[in-house]
Amino acid sequence: MTRPADRVPAPTDRRHRPRRLRGTPALRRMAREVRVHPGDLVLPVFVKEGLTEPVEIASMPGVLQHSRESLRRAVSEAADAGLAGVMLFGVPAVRDAVGSGATDPDGILNLAIADAVEAGGGRLVVMADLCLDEFTDHGHCGVLRTNAAGEPVVDNDATLERYVDMALAQARAGAHLLGLSGMMDDQTGAVRDALDEAGFQDVTLLAYAAKYASVFYGPFRDAVESTLTGDRMTYQMDPANRREAAREVALDVEQGADVVMVKPALPYLDVLADVAATSAVPVAAYQVSGEYAMIEAAAANGWIDRRRAIEESVLAIRRAGADLVLTYWATELARWLAEPTPNGSTR
């Protein structure tokens, strides 16, 4: 019969007590391996042509389609909160087959870039989405052609020409960083070469290198009033593929990407960890609209603690290796991070 004393660990085993580092808030803070800082966060912002007041997006409670004036306020608040940057998305009043509004100097996105640069005053990085989907009447990320079977497909190389024109328009508007999100082959190299030739060598490129064809983009399409029918499976990555991401990242870095992106974030933390472990450039991850909407919906129903869920989800993305996190909670989270802890220090 085993006596109770026989089940007590030998004295040498008692040396290993991981709980010792969890015993108090101060000890937990001391032993913490990963932290979130406002400078790790980027706020995605939507600005819609013709608005005089901001409008809340129904599927993204708390997120707005901004007017140009409210955009300026949002950028100033983001800078005050210490964010790394803002990523701008334009919602035009008129769309056409080739996304003409994307390259119009007076188009909403290019005007918004100039507004944001002024409002930011050099305190954060003004980033611009470089993709045609918000500007095309068919909702795809590029120019369409008809294939041999009579079906519409995205023409990769014709789209690159539009991306080059779009990049130059955004650079002229003053963007500090261009977010190449279209997932066209060779987009990073085409844009880098064009910018350098035009004298914009200092404009930074963030390549959405591993962007998956995800269902979690649904609310975003409401935010930009997308006209897409069908899907983007022929150019965005298959959610089943992990190793392929390494190839995409390597190609973008070779072509001159300064930062690479994994998108979405939480459903692809394995991919993010792979990329972070091998990338020679900073790695970003986008906590997309569907991730946002799920937490907000659960919190609104009382099923989850909203603040803790937001903090834990962003921490998980940082823990997986992201240097930058694009999140719709960026400004709010940054303010929480600035709050003093009970001993008077900040987190």
Q: For residue 319, count CB atoms less than 10 angstroms from its CB and return exposed for 0-12, middle for 13-18, buried for 19 or more.
A: middle
Structure tokens at 156: 């990769």
Q: Quick check: is 211 catalytic?
A: yes
Active site residue 48: no
Torsion of Cα atoms, 156 then 158 then 159 then 163, to 10°: 130
Encoded tokens for 95: 């769309």
The single residue of 48, 68, 176, 211 carrying the catalytic annotation is: 211
Q: Residues 66, 72, 95, 263: which is the catalytic one?
A: 263
Cα distance between residue 89 and residue 127, in whole Å: 9
Polymer length in residues for the chain: 347
Chain mean position to CA 266 = 12
3-state SS, one letter per residue, for 110-122: HHHHHHHHHHHCC
By the 10 Å C-beta count (0-12 exposed, 13-18 middle, 19+ buried), 342 is classed as exposed
Q: What pairing do the DSSP bridges indicate for beta strands 144-146 and 152-154?
A: antiparallel
SS3 call for 123? coil
- Pairwise CA distance, residues 117 & 64, whole Å: 19
Catalytic residues: 211, 263
